[in-house]
Amino acid sequence: MKYKNLHIIINEEIQNTLDETYKSVDEIKKLANDILIKTAEINFEKYNTDGSFRYIYGVNVDKMDSSKYDEIKNYVADSNVQIYFQPKDDKSSNKADYSNIITYKGEKYNPRTERDINLYYDYNRFKEKIDEILKEQVISRSDFYSKLYYEFYTSLVHELQHSYDDYRSGGMAYNTPENEKYRKKYLQKSDNNVSRSQINDLESYREYLNLPHEIWARFSQAMIKVRFYTWDYDKSNDKQIIYTMYPLNQVLKDFRYAFDNFKVLSPEMQKRLYRKVSQFWHIEQEKINKINKNGGEKS
């Protein structure tokens, strides 16, 4: 009984660690965008020089400007996470994965151990898009960035959330009782990495979707699509913008549709995620109220 209670306590501590904050989710989204901007910067001139698309050079997370972030600042500065853009196998449907190093009890987490985020894409289709532009004109940094954004942004947010959770939990995000049970049930003894690419059937897929680290990665991914407010010009002053919050019920409904496989979650987890979105909604409401008081100008 004592062991079981300790197991529960440890699991609750990990769950609390992974409980996403408004700021961390917002900054993970910004980091993903900044990575794609940086990727565009280091690639587009090469294509113009060569006159054709070859491949996409990746970047390292710690090469980004960590001073731009608050909550994830140490993660950006300290972690050795490589972003790779990989042509995918014709038979593979996997969009991305995070290659984490499992940290077991008693082992010290080392953020400088290289960990990889792989973003997979259809090489021939992507090359055709870029080469088509190069036939007519040079490709601009912004044009290439837009191609990267629509191809990789949501998947990159998802995998960065995995990586950040791994970092801030000291590797324990992947060492939960749920993960251990999943590994023993579905994975080979030599294979410690729990990822979507290893799923072979509906049962294992359903259980994978309910793993804590996977739930919160999908949460951040869903928040890309959720809109908390709209805006319009003030009728009495067409130079001033007025922001209006969407009703909370509408935001929760939009979140439910944006969250991948929301229905497979337990009712308790669904309620927990609804509470988290409601917290975010109230934070956004406070921001919007301040903006409207300042004449509709965002700081």
Closest CA relative to residue 20, chosen from 154, 145, 165, 156 = 165
More confident position, 4 or 217:
217
Q: How much is the average pLDDT of 112-120?
A: 96
End-to-end CA distance of the chain: 54
Residues 175-204, mean pLDDT to the nearest whole number = 71
* pLDDT of 16 strictly over 70: no
Residue 85's beta-bridge partner residues? 119
Q: What is the mean pLDDT of residues 180-185?
A: 84
Point out the least confidently predicted range of 18-22, 97-101, 112-116, 186-190: 186-190
pLDDT for residue 25: 96
| pLDDT at 193 (0 to 100) | 59
Q: Domain coordinates of the chain in residue numbers?
A: 2-222, 229-293
Q: Does pTM surpass 0.85?
A: yes
Percent of the chain with pLDDT over 90: 70
The torsion defined by the Cα of 84, 87, 92 and 93, in degrees rounded to 10, comes to 70
Q: How high is the pLDDT of residue 196?
A: 55
Model confidence at 5, pLDDT cuts 50, 70, 90, reads very low
Is the pLDDT at 229 greater than 50, yes or no? yes
**Distance of alpha carbon 37 from alpha carbon 115, whole angstroms:** 21
Tell me the H-state helices in the chain: 2-18, 22-50, 73-78, 123-136, 141-168, 177-186, 202-209, 212-222, 248-258, 267-293
| Residue 2 pLDDT class (50, 70, 90 cuts) | very low
- Cα 40 to its chain centre, rounded Å, is 19
Structure confidence at residue 6 (pLDDT): 37
Q: In the 8-state DSSP scheme, what is residue 231?
A: E
pLDDT of residue 13: 46
- Band (203; pLDDT cuts 50, 70, 90): confident
Q: Tell me: the pLDDT tens digits for 44-99? A: 999 999 999 999 999 999 999 999 999 999 999 999 999 999 998 766 678 999 99
Q: Give 230's DSSP letter.
A: E
Q: How confident is the model at residue 20 (pLDDT cuts 50, 70, 90)?
A: confident
In whole numbers, what is the pLDDT of the chain averaged over residues? 88
Q: Which pLDDT tens digit goes with each residue over 129-140?
A: 999 999 999 999
Q: Are 167 and 115 in contact (CB under 8 A)?
A: no
pLDDT for 192 beyond 70: no
